[in-house]
């Protein structure tokens, strides 16, 4: 039995008629950028995230741009320090670096593998402007404590919610708890476009007006720029139309993925395979994007041997992510000191196949192959 990591065409075939219609109507409209489909989606997505009268959503071209736009709108610029984590996707860090700001790496908690709020304080300097936690794999960072430290020191909180669309913290949608939330609609994410897409959530009208200008060359009125730091980052009409169709199904897909993850976790715990599962804070309701586990110290073989074994069984296992950011050539200059938990995480983590369509039989095959491989 072959179990590929992810098959994105499943979502398309499930909604083919609606998606085809949405794309055709957008094509026929003759209006492809910043039109009513982008506006509609922004309105629908905002209504999904928060109550009426609360907050704003600005569509943009990617999750990376969502981070860049949020950082810029937060007033962050060259030399400013942003506290984040190193066990994340590259774009978290490149977004910070691309505006000349400096990523400062915070240790992760041993059990949740997310930003450890107890490690933030010693990293704060006179240059620190923001804290940027990442809701890795769809799990949610300790937002209450992160918010408390940030508030005490006058720092902005920018949530990298690229992997956790639909998750909640203390009943609130992830991405709406801090000052800004940066969403990605990269095809494999919980809400995936059929190309690139992203969005920023913000709380204040002032930030909203800034974001709207920043994503469109920095202009407020046509041909009359108000902000020099503007970029070109719009959510195009075809992607917006597709996202409006898919948004209606995301909760259903997220719920089903939650059941798949539950099943994985139960089976893996029962077999006593030498694996570590990601812990979840009491206030968090994850919306799983990835099913990641860590090989424990007692595992009989190395991670690459394990992945090879699974591959020989037709099961695709990937690594998210193998190297801490501070160990990558691009970010060498930001290295301050080794972070032991971060390093241990990056050296031992693997991701199993996950999709809302995954059958119990496939999950069982993945788990039994895992046990067979690790419990020899």
Task: Give Cβ neighbours of residue 33 (< 8 Å, ≥ 6 apart).
Answer: 234, 236, 237
CA distance linking residue 375 with residue 295, whole number of Å: 12
* Region of 59-67, 125-133, 139-147, 292-300 interacting with ligand PLP (CB under 6 A): 59-67
Closest among 320, 331, 321, 335 to 94, alpha carbons compared: 331
Rg for the chain, CA atoms, rounded:
21
If one asks whether residue 178 binds ligand PLP (CB under 6 A), the answer comes out as: no
Please check whether residue 146 is in contact with residue 120, taking contact to mean a CB–CB distance below 8 angstroms: yes
* Identity of the residue, 114 or 162, whose beta carbon is nearer to ligand PLP in the bound complex: 162
Among 11, 87, 88, 233, contact with ligand PLP (rule: CB under 6 A): 88
Interface with ligand PLP, residue 236, by CB under 6 A: no
Q: Which is nearer to ligand PLP, 26 or 70 (CB)?
A: 70
Residues 101-160 that bind ligand PLP (CB under 6 A): 134, 160
Alpha-carbon distance of 149 to 153, in angstroms, equals 6
Task: Rule CB under 6 A: say whether 80 interacts with ligand PLP.
Answer: no
| Cβ-based burial of 86 (10 A; exposed 0-12, middle 13-18, buried ≥19) | buried
CB nearer to ligand PLP: pick between 92 and 128: 92
- When asked if residue 71 is in the footprint of ligand PLP (CB under 6 A), the reply is no
Reading the block at residue 153, the tokens are 């020191």
Cα 359 off chain centre by: 25
Nearer to ligand PLP by C-beta: 87 or 369?
87
DSSP state of 33: B
* Separation of alpha carbons 123 and 373, rounded Å: 41
Question: Nearest approach, Cβ of 295 to ligand PLP (angstroms)?
Answer: 22
Comparison of 116 and 374: residue with beta carbon closer to ligand PLP: 116
Torsion, Cα of 158, 234, 62, 26 (10° steps): 130
| Min dist. Cβ of residue 359 to ligand PLP (A) | 26
Which of 68, 143, 162, 212 lies at the binding interface for ligand PLP (CB under 6 A)?
162
For residue 128 the two structure tokens come to: 């620190």
92 binds ligand PLP (CB under 6 A): yes
Residues 176, 184, 348, 351: which binds ligand PLP (CB under 6 A)? 184
- The minimum distance between CB 233 and ligand PLP, in angstroms, equals 10
Rounded to a whole number of angstroms, the minimum distance from the CB of residue 120 to ligand PLP is 19
Check binding of 208 to ligand PLP (CB under 6 A): no
Q: CB-wise, 306 or 352, nearer to ligand PLP? A: 352
Contacts 24+ apart (CB under 8 A), 116-124: 116/142, 116/341, 117/142, 117/145, 117/146, 117/148, 117/149, 118/145, 120/83, 120/146, 120/149, 121/149, 123/83, 124/83, 124/149, 124/153, 124/155
Q: Is 64 in the site for ligand PLP (CB under 6 A)?
A: yes
Q: Identify which of residues 114 and 374 has a Cβ nearer to ligand PLP in the complex.
A: 114
Asked if 68 touches ligand PLP (CB under 6 A), the answer is no
Q: Does 216 bind ligand PLP (CB under 6 A)?
A: no
Q: Which of 186, 208, 276, 210 is nearest to 43 (CA)?
A: 208
| Using rule CB under 6 A, residue 288 touches ligand PLP | no
Q: Is 342 in the site for ligand PLP (CB under 6 A)?
A: no
| ω into 321 cis (within 30 of 0) | yes
Q: Which is nearer to ligand PLP, 63 or 147 (CB)?
A: 63
Our measurement of the distance from residue 159's CA atom to the centroid of its chain's CA atoms, rounded to an integer in Å, reads 9
Q: Residue from 91, 166, 175, 355 that binds ligand PLP (CB under 6 A)?
A: 91
84 binds ligand PLP (CB under 6 A): no
Residue among 306 and 331 whose Cβ is closer to ligand PLP: 331
Position with the least CB separation from ligand PLP: 63
Chain residues that interact with ligand PLP, rule: CB under 6 A: 62-64, 88-89, 91-92, 134, 160, 162-163, 184, 186, 196, 198
């Amino acid at each position: 039995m072959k179990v590929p990591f992810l098959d994105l065409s499943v979502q398309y075939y499930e909604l083919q008629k609606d998606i085809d219609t949405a794309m055709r109507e957008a094509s026929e409209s003759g209006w492809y950028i910043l039109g009513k489909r982008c506006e509609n989606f922004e309105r629908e997505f905002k209504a999904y995230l928060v109550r009426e009268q609360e907050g704003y959503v600005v569509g943009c071209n990617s999750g990376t741009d969502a981070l860049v736009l949020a950082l810029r709108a937060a007033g962050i610029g060259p030399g400013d320090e942003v506290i984040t984590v190193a066990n994340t996707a590259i774009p978290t860090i490149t977004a910070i670096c691309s505006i000349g700001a400096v990523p400062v790496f915070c240790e992760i908690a041993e059990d949740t593998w997310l930003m450890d709020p107890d490690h933030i304080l010693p990293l704060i300097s006179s240059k620190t402007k923001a804290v940027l936690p990442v809701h890795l794999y769809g799990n949610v960072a300790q937002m209450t404590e992160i918010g408390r430290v940030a508030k005490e020191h006058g720092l902005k909180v920018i949530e990298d919610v690229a992997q956790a669309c639909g998750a909640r913290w203390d009943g609130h949608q992830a991405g709406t708890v801090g000052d800004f939330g940066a969403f990605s609609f990269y095809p494999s994410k919980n809400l995936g476009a059929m190309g690139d897409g992203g969005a920023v959530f913000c709380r204040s009208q002032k930030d909203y007006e800034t974001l709207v200008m920043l994503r469109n060359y920095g202009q407020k009125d046509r041909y009359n720029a108000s902000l020099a730091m503007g970029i070109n980052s719009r959510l195009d009409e075809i992607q917006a139309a597709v996202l409006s169709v898919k948004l209606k199904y995301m909760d259903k897909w997220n719920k089903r993925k939650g059941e798949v993850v539950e099943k994985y976790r139960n089976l893996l715990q029962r077999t006593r395979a030498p694996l570590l599962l990601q812990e979840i804070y009491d206030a968090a309701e994850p919306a799983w994007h990835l099913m990641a586990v860590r090989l424990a110290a007692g595992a009989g073989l190395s991670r690459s041997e394990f992945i090879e074994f699974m591959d020989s069984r037709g099961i695709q296992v990937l690594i998210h992510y193998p190297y801490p950011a501070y160990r990558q050539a691009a970010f060498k200059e930001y290295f301050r000191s080794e972070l032991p938990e971060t390093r241990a995480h990056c050296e031992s983590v693997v991701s199993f196949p996950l999709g809302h369509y995954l059958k119990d039989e496939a999950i069982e095959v993945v788990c039994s192959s895992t046990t067979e491989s690790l419990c020899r």
